[in-house]
Amino acid sequence: MGCLYREIPQCGNDQILSAISEFCLSVHLTFEPDGRTRHKLPVSSVRALLQRRPYWLSLLAGGLSATGFAPLDLWPVTLLCLALWMAVVLQADSRRTAALSGWLFGVGHFVVGLNWIARAFTYQSAMPEWLGYFAVVALSLYLAVYPALTALGAWWLGKKHPVALMLAFAGFWIFTEWLRSWVFSGFIWNPLGSVLLPLGQLPFLTKYVGSYGLSAIAVIAAAALLLAFRSQWKLALPTALVLAVPSVITKDSVFYTPGPPADRPDIIVVQPNIGQQDKWQAGYEAENLRKLASLTVREDDRPRLLFWPEAAIPDYLEDGYPRRYYRHRPEFVRQQLASLMKPGDMLLLGGLKLEFDEAGERAIGARNSVFAMDATGELTGRYDKNHLVPYGEYLPMRPVLTAIGLSRLVPGDFDFWPGPGPQTLDLGEFGKAGLQICYEIIFSGRVVDQSSRPDFIFNPSNDAWFGDWGPPQHLAQARLRAIEEGLPVIRSTPTGISAVINANGIVEHQVAMGVAGKIDAPLPSSARPTLFSRHGNILALGLALFLLICAIAIRRAGR
C-alpha cells in the first residue's frame, strides 16, 4: 500500500501489481445481513500507513491545511488535515518522529499560507524575484518550530492516550501561537482560528477567549473528526454538538446592537487604487492626489470623518524641517488637502515624519504615522506606528547586513523608529479613534489603549505589495480584532481591501481589490467591552492551562 500511495512514479509494473495485491488482501470483506459485501479498510492498515510515511503525510497535510485561510476559505480541508496530523503524532514511536512531523507540517502550512511574501520582495530595490521565494521558505523553516513544539508537547503529555493527546494539542497550540506573537518581535500572521470565520456564530467565542483560544477550538473540532474516524462516537458526538451550538445561535442573541444610523457620524473611506509601482514614482504625485481627491468630494455638506490609506501622500505635513527636505511647503500641502474638505470635516491620513540629529540638520530616522487634520488645515493629532516590520521598515543588525550587501532589503538609508504603542486620538464630535497601522492589527491584545478605550479602530494599510492572498488574510485578522475588542474597525488601503467592519467582526461595506472606490456610510457603533478586552490573552493562556491539566488527568486515569 505504501508503494501504491506514494511511490508509484518510482515503481515498475511488477512492483505496482504487487502493491495493489497487498492492498487488496489488506481490505476486510464483511457480510451484511442481506448477503451483500462491504469493503472496510482495517485500522491496522491505516496505522501502518501513518507509521510508514509520517513525514510525507505531515508535509502534505500542512500544505493543504493552509487552504482554509482566505481567500480560499476551505476550512473543512484544514480540519481534516489537522486530524490527519494528530493521527500521525498519535502513532509516533519517538520524540524525534513527533517533533519532526510537527516541523514538516509547519513547513507546508506556512509555505503555502505565506506565499504572498514572495510578491512583496519584487517591489524592493532591484531585488531578484527568486529571493522572494527563498524568503518564504526561510521564514517558514523558522515558524515551523512552533507546530513542532506543539507536536512534541502533545506526544510527551498524551502518549498513546488519544483524548489526552488531543487536549494537549489544543493547549500547546494556544501556547505556541502566543509565543509566535512576540518572540523575535513576533509574526502571528494567520492564527489558526481565522479559518473558523465563515462558520456562523462560532467565531464570536473570540469575545471570551481571544483568537488564540479560537485556534484551540479549531484543533478540538479536528480532534472530533479523528475520534469519529476511530469510532469513538461517545466522545466525538458530544464534542461536535458543543462546537455546533454557537454556530446556529441567531445573530439577535449576540451582545451587540448597532445604534440607529441617524445617531452615528458619517464617514468616507477612500481606496484610490494606486499600485505600489506607482506610489513613489517621480512625477506621479499629482496623479495620486487627483485620485484621492476625486473620491473624497461629495454633493452634500454634512460633516464627515474621512479616511485615507497608509502613506497616502509623499509630502511631509509638519513644519520645522530643514528646507531641503521639502518638495512643497507643508502649509501649502495642508491647504491643498483642506480644500477638499467641507466645514466640520476631519481627515485621518497616513504620512511620514522625520527624526533629526541633535543639531536638527540631518535626518537620522523616520516614523510611519497617521495624522489628524481639520478642515482649516491644522494638524490636531498624530500616531506613530509601534510594531514595525523587520526587513520592511527597519534592518536588524544594519551594519553587518550592509557590509555584506543586504541593505537593499530595506529601502532608504535609515530605519523607521517605533512609536510608544497603542494610543487614542480625540476627534471631537467624531468620537475617539484607536490607531493601528498596517500589520499592527494582527497582534491580539495589543491594539487598544486600555486607559482610554476608543470608539473605533482605524487601520490604514498598504496591501498593494501583498499579492492576491495577503489582503484577504489581512482583512480576516482585522475582523478578529473587532470581535475581541467589541469595536468597529475601519480599513483604508491603496488597492484593497478597504472595509468597514462592525463590532461583531462582520464586514458591512468593502471595496474589492484592484478597483478605485469609496465607502460613504455611518460609522458603526461600538459594543460594550468584551471579556477579552478587559482581560486580554490571560484568558487564552488560562484555557491552555486548563486543557493541559485535563490531558494530564486523563492520562493518569489511563482512560
Q: What is the pLDDT of residues 382-437, one digit of tens each?
A: 999 999 887 777 766 555 555 544 555 555 667 889 999 999 999 999 999 999 99
* Structural domain count, the chain: 3
Confidence band, pLDDT 50/70/90 cuts, at residue 295: very high
Segment 249-258 shows an average pLDDT of: 47
Q: What is the pLDDT of residues 272-282, one digit of tens each?
A: 998 766 666 66
320 domain-assigned = yes
Q: What is the dihedral of CA 394, 395, 397, 402, to 10 degrees?
A: -140
What pLDDT score was predicted for residue 550? 92
The answer to whether 161 and 448 are in contact (CB under 8 A) is no
122 domain-assigned = yes
206 domain-assigned = yes
Are residue 102 and residue 30 in the same domain, yes or no? no
Confidence band, pLDDT 50/70/90 cuts, at residue 260: low
Is the pLDDT at 6 greater than 60? The verdict is: no
What pLDDT score was predicted for residue 406? 52
What pLDDT score was predicted for residue 538? 97
d(CA 83, CA 89): 10
Question: How many C-beta atoms surround the C-beta of residue 490 within 10 A?
Answer: 25
d(CA 148, CA 105): 8
Are residue 345 and residue 236 in the same domain, yes or no? no
- The mean-pLDDT minimum among 107-111, 244-248, 357-361 falls in 244-248
- Closest by CA to 468, choosing from 62, 119, 123, 110, is 119
531 domain-assigned = no
Is the pLDDT at 233 greater than 80? The verdict is: no
- The mean-pLDDT minimum among 7-11, 159-163, 525-529 falls in 7-11
Q: What is the pLDDT of residues 22-53, one digit of tens each?
A: 434 433 333 344 444 444 445 455 555 556 67
Are residue 400 and residue 335 in the same domain, yes or no? yes
Q: What is the pLDDT of residues 434-477, one digit of tens each?
A: 999 998 999 999 999 999 999 999 999 998 878 889 999 999 99
Q: What is the pLDDT of residues 364-376, one digit of tens each?
A: 999 999 999 999 9
- Closest by CA to 325, choosing from 283, 353, 286, 350, is 353
What pLDDT score was predicted for residue 50? 59
What pLDDT score was predicted for residue 243? 65
- Grid cell 473528526 in the structure block, residue: 225
Are residue 33 and residue 92 in the same domain, yes or no? no
d(CA 543, CA 170): 9
> What's the burial of 24, exposed, middle or buried (CB within 10 Å: 0-12/13-18/19+)?
exposed
Are residue 34 and residue 10 in the same domain, yes or no? yes
| DSSP states along 258-319 | PPPGGGS-EEEEEE----HHHHT-TT-HHHHHHHHHHHH--SS---EEEE--TT--SS--SS
Is the pLDDT at 8 greater than 60? The verdict is: no
What pLDDT score was predicted for residue 389? 84
What's the mean per-residue pLDDT of the chain? Answer: 84
Confidence band, pLDDT 50/70/90 cuts, at residue 2: very low
Are residue 363 and residue 272 in the same domain, yes or no? yes
Percent of the chain with pLDDT over 70: 79
Percent of the chain with pLDDT over 90: 62
Are residue 183 and residue 295 in the same domain, yes or no? no
- Closest by CA to 238, choosing from 248, 228, 247, is 228
Is the pLDDT at 4 greater than 60? The verdict is: no
d(CA 69, CA 27): 36
Confidence band, pLDDT 50/70/90 cuts, at residue 264: confident
What pLDDT score was predicted for residue 69? 97
85 three-class SS? helix
Are residue 87 and residue 111 in the same domain, yes or no? yes
* 141 vs 50: which has the higher pLDDT: 141
Which 8-state DSSP code applies to residue 173?
Answer: H
pTM of the entire structure? 0.86
Q: What are phi and psi of 369, to 5 degrees?
A: -130, 165
326 domain-assigned = yes
Are residue 33 and residue 158 in the same domain, yes or no? no
Is the pLDDT at 201 greater than 70? The verdict is: yes
Any idea what the CATH number is for the domain that residue 400 is in?
A: 3.60.110.10
Question: How many C-beta atoms surround the C-beta of residue 339 within 10 A?
Answer: 10
Q: Which domain holds residue 20?
A: 1-41
* 122 vs 56: which has the higher pLDDT: 56
Are residue 69 and residue 195 in the same domain, yes or no? yes
528 domain-assigned = no
490 domain-assigned = yes
Which set of grid coordinates corresponds to residue 545? 492551562
Question: How many C-beta atoms surround the C-beta of residue 134 within 10 A?
Answer: 12
Q: What are phi and psi of 513, to 5 degrees?
A: -65, 140
What pLDDT score was predicted for residue 408? 54
Are residue 230 and residue 308 in the same domain, yes or no? no
The answer to whether 31 and 37 are in contact (CB under 8 A) is yes
Is the pLDDT at 7 greater than 80? The verdict is: no
Calculate the alpha carbon distances from 448 to 212, 476, 489, 525 in Å.
Answer: 17, 18, 12, 16
Are residue 335 and residue 430 in the same domain, yes or no? yes
530 domain-assigned = no
Crossing angle for the helix pair 206-229 and 75-90, nearest 10 degrees?
60
